[in-house]
Amino acid sequence: MQEKREVIIELKGVEKTFRDFWLRPTVKAVDGLDLSVVKGEVFGLLGPNGSGKSTTIKMVLGLLEPSAGCISLFGLPPRSIAARAKIGYLPELSYLHPFLTARETLRYYAGLCSLDRRTAAERTRQLLEMVGLSDVADRAVGGFSKGMARRVALASALVGKPELLVLDEPTSGLDPVSTNEVKTLVKTLSKGGMTVLMTSHLLGDAEDVCDRVAILNHGKSVAEGRIGEIGTSLEEFFLAKVGEGRSFEVAPFLK
Amino acid sequence: MKAFREIFAMQFVALVRSKALALLLAAASAWMLLVPRLVADDGTADGAHQVFVRYSLGGVFALLAACLGAAAAGSISSDRALRRLQLTLVRPVRHSVVALGRIAALTAAGALVMSVAAGIALLRTDPSRPCYGVLSPVMESPREEAERMYEVYMADPHTPENVKRAKKSAVVKLLTQKAVDHYQTVSTNETARWTFPAVPAGSSESVAVRLRFTTLFNTREDVVGDFSFGDMRASVSNITQAVVTIPLKGGPAPDGASELVFANRGENALMLRPRRDITLLCREKGDVFAYGLLLAVVVDVCVLAAIVSLSMFLGAGLGKSVAVFAVMAVLFMTSVSSTIVEQYPYELETNRKDQIGLVLTRFMEQATSPVGSFNPVDALAEDRRVSAGELVRAVALDLLALPLLLSLLAGLVMSRKTMD
């Protein structure tokens, strides 16, 4: 069945090597990554710190150029305007303009997505209501708590009605109730046909939401599969793939 | 267009809500009000007017160039450092539009502050004070003069040996620089003639000669003699002012290009640089200070747009502190390079270290001359209004071409720059 679904994201042999000022290679963050995400799927990109998740996401978003290999979004280069028109992005931290209010923030991003004034206003109202910020819509986001700012960022990711939602640690900084709300939202959006690519350190969250996951380690995909087919808990699976034998050497410190 | 409007509005709102715009307005207003108390003039009404216009509006322009330059340099670079930029760059908007919208917003803020400063200037001066268009003598270009003088100069026994050994192109370049400041001496009871282009039809009744004795050391010379221009006549006897305006009377200006004749009746020879020191002032209907001020502000805003664009481009490729430093260095070099070149024009007559410094300074002067060569406020202080050509050049080059080109380049740099 999966073969018949439209491929939204495709990475073939993607590599990313960061270089210093003199163009000498410093670190290979992604190493020969092959990946495909199909329409309507919630795909989790998991891995320990420094495994290349964020670099992969930035390449998918067109913020970084791969050193080798190719990436396509909707069959288009990630930097094309047409591809970017279909993407919503929630970064790991909510990088908002502190002088804008929540309403202005959403209208700003709606404007960048070329929504007309009336549609932008209506979409803004709906999203502020959805993330529970209608009461503080006209307060500058610079004064918001981390959780509130996260909600604004999530709403702004959705304001252009994207076909692909890229979420970098979507539940980071949220309380348990809000975390649950976000997870429910992701599942609802997915059921509505939206494709979601997300990273998470919280394996429980990924297990609850994702249809399929890939585990990255040292820039390579070490495992990939559907959640239901792993046969064990995601945490055990994850540790088996990237964490086996790793622990802090505490004894010398205690002597 | 919609994305441009949104980015423009966001940047302008940020300037307003961060109180940066209010601070700029307060600083500019305070400067405009303080200048007459801070700067001494020569005691004449004209001197007071010149000092006020030059230092008040010039100071506000310098303040805006520095502040908006720094703000533009930090706009993209700090957004990138704070990772806000990536939220914009993943949207379906051209990266050059991101730069252009910000350039437009900062330029608009500059225009607002300049307008307020101009409003205060109008309240403190006579808006109906005469203002003039300017005609310069028709002469061969400095390059043509240099080519003509080359053989004479090389045959001169006083020409330094190292200059004689230098390549012709280097010597011609040196002579070209000298030609700009070529002095002409009009001895006692001698006559000098300079050809001027046709006076605009609307101003043939109101023509004046302007002599400007602003030398390197601001010394003043005495000038006594008679001018004639077609049927127009005037006499001059002046030993005090560095800038002398002599109205010509007695008939309409001649049709077409014509000679201005000066007969020196004084006791001393008159030395002047025709390319710089003598001009014809032509006043058309409506040529008043208020109109001249409007044109000067428009040109200054155009120059601000060019400065902001360059700063935005640098900020797109560099970190904030490096970009701000680079912008300040460029502004400083732009403001001093012409003075340095004017004071030390003969690089072949200096040592190697100074030659390198002069080459760099001259490069800087050449590179920034489209933006920095004309100072409309200084011209306005001397009752000279911006000409149509200067206005068109400022709008076409500084307000349109440079911002468009530099925002395109900034967009390319943004696309290439690694988003950490």
What is the C-alpha to C-alpha distance for residues B144 and A94, in angstroms, rounded to an integer?
Answer: 63
Task: Provide the pLDDT for residue B193.
Answer: 93
Q: Which residue has the higher pLDDT, B360 or B20?
A: B20
Are the C-beta atoms of residues B6 and B101 closer than 8 Å to each other? yes
Interface contact A21, partner B, CB < 8 A: no
Are the C-beta atoms of residues B127 and B290 closer than 8 Å to each other? yes
Please check the confidence at residue B145 and state whether its pLDDT lies above 50.
yes
Give the number of A-B residue pairs with CB atoms closer than 8 Å: 78
Distances from the Cα of B367 to the Cα of B65, B333, B371, B404, angstroms: 17, 11, 9, 18
Interface contact B2, partner A, CB < 8 A: yes
Task: Tally the residues of chain B.
Answer: 420
Tens of pLDDT, residue by residue over B198-223, are 888 777 678 888 887 654 444 556 78
Q: What is the 3-state secondary structure (H, E, C) of A56-101?
A: HHHHHHCCCCCCEEEEEECCECCCCHHHHCCEEEECCCCCCCCCCE
Task: Provide the pLDDT for residue B160.
Answer: 81
- How many alpha carbons fall within 13 Å on the CB side of residue B341? 23
Q: Where are the alpha helices (DSSP H) in chain A?
A: 53-61, 81-84, 102-112, 117-130, 146-158, 176-191, 203-209, 234-238, 251-254
Are the C-beta atoms of residues B32 and B58 closer than 8 Å to each other? no
The reply to whether residue A104 touches residue B415, judged by beta carbons under 8 angstroms, is no
Task: Provide the pLDDT for residue B216.
Answer: 44
The reply to whether residue A62 touches residue B90, judged by beta carbons under 8 angstroms, is yes
Taking the CA of residue B15 and the nearest CA in chain A, the distance in Å comes to: 9
Query: Which residue out of B1, B8, B86, B90 would a mutagenesis test of the A interface target, given it has the greatest number of A Cβ atoms within 10 Å?
Result: B90
Other Cβ atoms within 10 Å of B240 Cβ, number: 10
Q: Specify which residues A167 forms β-bridges with.
A: A90, A198
Mean of pLDDT over chain B: 84
Task: Provide the pLDDT for residue B71.
Answer: 93
The reply to whether residue B6 touches residue A112, judged by beta carbons under 8 angstroms, is yes
Among the listed residues B101, B123, B115, the one whose alpha carbon sits nearest the alpha carbon of residue B25? B115
Query: Which residue out of A63, A115, A141, A164 would a mutagenesis test of the B interface target, given it has the greatest number of B Cβ atoms within 10 Å?
Result: A63
What is the C-alpha to C-alpha distance for residues B246 and B281, in angstroms, rounded to an integer?
Answer: 9
Task: Tell me which residues of chain A have a pLDDT lower than 70.
Answer: 1-4, 230-231, 243-249
Tens of pLDDT, residue by residue over B352-398, are 777 777 777 777 666 665 555 568 888 888 888 888 888 998 899 88
Chain A CB contacts of B9 under 8 Å are: 108
The reply to whether residue A84 touches residue B86, judged by beta carbons under 8 angstroms, is no
Nearest CA in chain B to A60: B90
Task: Provide the pLDDT for residue B79.
Answer: 86
A163 phi and psi angles, rounded to 5 deg: -90, -25
* The pair of three-digit structure tokens given for residue B332, joined into one six-digit string: 């400083």
Tens of pLDDT, residue by residue over B233-290, are 889 887 666 778 888 888 777 787 888 999 999 888 888 888 888 889 888 888 889 9
The reply to whether residue B10 touches residue A140, judged by beta carbons under 8 angstroms, is no
Name the A residues in 180-199 with CB < 8 Å from any B CB: none
Q: What H or E segment, with its residue span, contains residue B328?
A: helix B320-343
Q: Where are the alpha helices (DSSP H) in B92-235?
A: 95-124, 142-155, 161-165, 168-180
Task: Provide the pLDDT for residue A69.
Answer: 93
B193 phi and psi angles, rounded to 5 deg: -130, 135
* The pair of three-digit structure tokens given for residue B14, joined into one six-digit string: 């940020």
Please check the confidence at residue B33 and state whether its pLDDT lies above 80.
yes
Please check the confidence at residue B420 and state whether its pLDDT lies above 70.
no
What is the C-alpha to C-alpha distance for residues A121 and A104, in angstroms, rounded to an integer?
Answer: 10
Tens of pLDDT, residue by residue over B291-330, are 999 999 999 999 999 999 999 999 998 888 898 898 888 8
Tens of pLDDT, residue by residue over B101-142, are 999 999 999 999 999 999 999 998 889 888 888 888 998 888
Task: Provide the pLDDT for residue B176.
Answer: 82
* The pair of three-digit structure tokens given for residue A65, joined into one six-digit string: 């150029």
Report all structural domains of chain B as residue ranges with CATH numbers, in order of start.
2-131+288-419 (no CATH), 135-282 (2.60.120)
Residue B92 has its nearest CB partner, among A18, A58, A114, at A114
Whole-structure pTM value: 0.82
By mean pLDDT, which of A115-124, B37-46, B161-170 is the weakest? B37-46
